Amino acid sequence: MEAKTLQDVTATLRDLYNRATAAGRKKNWDYAIELMLNVLSKEPMLQTARQELRQFQAGKSEKLGFVAKLSAKIKASMKLPKIKVLAKKDPFKAMREYEKLLGQYLYNSSVLNALADTAAAKGAFFIGIEALEIIHDKHPNNEANLRKLAGYYKEIKDGMAYLRIFQEIGNRHQNDLTTQAEVRSALAFSTMHKANWEKEGTTQEKVHKKEDTTAELVAEGSLHNESQAGILVEKYTKELAEKESSETRRKLAEAYSMLKQYDQAIEQLTLVQKSLGVMDPAVDKLIEAAYLANIDVNIKELSSNPDQYESPEEQITDLREHRIKYRLGRAMGRVETYPNDTQLRYDLALMHFETNNFDAALEEFQKARKNPQRKRSCIIYIGRCFENKKQFDMAVDQFTEALAEIPDMSKERMDALYYLGVAREALEQNDKALECFKEIYQSNVNYKDVAQRIQKHYK
């Protein structure tokens, strides 16, 4: 079902709508909510009315104290079962009842989910999307909600919003192959609908067998030959001349990178980024990788042929400093765009740590530890930040917490034990430090300088 505007309703209903908005401007929330509910009872698809209602409900909810919020949730939980039964017989009446509950407290996820389900069942996905976006704003780490929201966007063929959601999910599971495949699928869906291609009648021209074979090698990660990369540049350039495709541009950029033509790779990736309309962290990292590779080529050239350049050592120093600043700038840009993405927070924290900005690193690691896949690593790095700040007692607390999370003798456990030992040495707790180093030594005698440290303790 399609949303309606004020132009689609009667003058009488518009007058009622205007009275409700006037009450809202005076912050007479209860009266404004009551009037706008009357509007929606007569025309449930009037999107502007529902948007105004949300403002009224939010205004009221933000002033509620803890007890009032809790009371509203309890009352809603008692009424929800009956309303869900009603939704099967009269969905629009049920939606009105859900809105009444949201008028008591807007940020009730159970009610918002029920409203979304009822609206979606009638094909009014725009109502469901609005409800799920409210949940997302308050609970950004609720992945079940994100996937449900993505499904709604797919139903209305909003490719950009669908991609945005899966990028957010993918950034949390960067090492999960299944999730990354979903992100690529979302990108393809987004590209298709952004270009307004029709499912029927769109076919790709057949390409030469040699080109197809080379493309398969790229997918398998087994392409390293520059002549093969040259074949792909020709293939993808021809395809782009026939039909625009972000995925093809991405592949073309990869082929250019194989040829070490990094400027051309960056150009293609920048076009991909612009076509998406939103910053894709994965594409941004590819742009960064190409730019850094270009810097590394220049550093290698200056190092290999110093006689051919003026002040090569000074140029190398400048390039290395620029390299660090560039990496830091890109990492900060990604976090500014996606402040709730804990993986990007982790990446930025590592950059601050590498540049010895331990206060900034500490702040980012503390935020990034909400990422379950990075939690243990973050705890260790937080300890190392304290250690570098000479706050050894707090460092000991962090390393001890990390060890409780890592029972098996993995690299992470050895890292935590090693830095715990270093911190205990600084606190002159030599016996305890020795126990840490011995536990590592019994598993890996070549780990860092643990053998020398043990020898020093025995002497």
Residue 333 to residue 10: CA distance in whole angstroms: 48
Nearest to 142 by CA among 279, 278, 340, 282: 340
Q: Is residue 395 part of a domain?
A: yes
Q: What is the CATH number of the domain that holds 226?
A: 1.25.40
- Asked if residue 435 has pLDDT above 70, the reply is yes
What's the confidence (pLDDT) of residue 8? 77
The whole-number pLDDT of residue 9 equals 80
Asked whether residue 149 is domain-assigned, the answer is no
* Domain shared by 295 and 355, yes or no: no
* 266 is a domain residue: yes
Last residue of a domain, one of 78, 113, 139: 139
Of 182-186, 216-220, 237-241, where does the model show the most confidence? 237-241
- What three-state secondary structure class fits 4? strand
Mean pLDDT of all residues in 189-213: 47
CATH code for the domain in which residue 377 is found: 1.25.40.10
Domain residue limits at 226: 208-334
Average pLDDT over residues 48-62: 89
Q: Do 327 and 346 have their domain in common?
A: no
Q: Is 372 helix (H, G, I), strand (E, B) or coil?
A: coil
From 139, 154, 180, give the residue that closes a domain: 139
345 shares a domain with 329: no
Residues 220 and 125 placed together within one structural domain of the fold: no
Q: Do 354 and 446 sit in the same domain of this protein? A: yes
Interatomic CA distance for residues 132 and 301, integer angstroms: 54
pLDDT for the residue 198: 36
133 and 16 share one domain: yes
Number of C-beta neighbours around residue 324 at 10 A:
12
Same domain, 28 and 120: yes
In a domain, 259, yes or no: yes
Q: Are residues 407 and 443 in the same domain?
A: yes
Cα–Cα distances (Å) from 129 to 40, 47, 136, 230, 406, in that order, read 17, 12, 10, 45, 40
Look at residues 291, 288, 272 and name the one whose alpha carbon lies nearest to residue 184.
272
Give me the mean pLDDT over the 354-372 stretch: 94
Residue 380 lies in a domain: yes
Domain count, the chain: 3
- pLDDT tens track for 380-416: 999 999 999 999 999 999 999 999 988 888 899 999 9
Provide the token pair at 174: 């960067």
pTM (two decimals): 0.53
Q: Are residues 325 and 369 part of one domain?
A: no
Helix (H) or strand (E) holding 406: none
For residues 105 and 75, the answer to whether their CB atoms sit within 8 Å is: no
Would you say residue 170 lies in a domain?
Answer: no
Provide the pLDDT confidence category of residue 174 given band limits of 50, 70 and 90. Answer: confident
For residue 449, being part of any structural domain is answered with: yes
Q: How far apart are CA 31 and CA 24, in angstroms?
A: 8
pLDDT for residue 47:
84
Q: Name the token pair of 307.
A: 């006689």
Res 325: pLDDT:
94
Q: Find out whether 99 and 53 touch, Cβ atoms under 8 Å.
A: yes
Q: State the pLDDT at residue 221.
A: 44
Domain boundary among 139, 157, 187: 139
Kindly state the helix (H) or strand (E) to which residue 40 belongs, with its residue range: helix 29-42
pLDDT(318) > 50: yes
Average pLDDT for 141-146 = 90
